[in-house]
Amino acid sequence: MKTIHLAISSLLLVACAANAEDIRSKTIERPEGTLIVTWGQPAPPPDQGRPVFAELDRNNDGQLTLQETESHALLHSDFIFADGNRNGVISRAELERWN
């Protein structure tokens, strides 16, 4: 009996998943103008691998600014956490700890 319930439940889950639409936004036309409501988690940034300090340090001053990290999406979005002492730049040691 448990096997039958498990099989039916599995089939129902598969059927629901097949019919489910991944809608994350809704457009509403209003007299004041169009309203677009979006929800859910944003798509994750692309996997760029571990950041290489020498490649990001464009001015070769031994530290990374927020602008210098723009080419590495994850490091850029996590800049405040990578900057361990909160002085506005990331040192080589801070980058190693963040990695």
Same structural domain, 32 and 59: no
How many structural domains compose the chain? 2
Note the pTM of the prediction, 2 decimals: 0.57
Q: State the pLDDT at residue 2.
A: 65
Determine, yes or no, domain membership for 45.
no
How many angstroms separate the CA atoms of 13 and 9, rounded?
Answer: 6
Q: Strand, helix or coil at 28?
A: strand
Determine, yes or no, domain membership for 94.
yes
Query: CA Rg, the chain, in Å?
Result: 23
How many angstroms separate the CA atoms of 27 and 8, rounded?
Answer: 36
Under 8 Å between Cβ of 79 and 68: no
pLDDT in tens, 4-55: 666 666 655 555 544 445 578 899 999 999 999 988 887 777 788 999 999 9
Determine, yes or no, domain membership for 47.
no
Q: State the pLDDT at residue 47.
A: 87
Determine, yes or no, domain membership for 63.
yes
Same structural domain, 57 and 94: yes
Residues of the domain holding 81 = 53-98
Q: Which of 97, 84, 3, 2 is nearest to 50 (CA)?
A: 97
How many angstroms separate the CA atoms of 85 and 91, rounded?
Answer: 10
Determine, yes or no, domain membership for 43.
no
Determine, yes or no, domain membership for 29.
yes
Determine, yes or no, domain membership for 48.
no
Determine, yes or no, domain membership for 46.
no
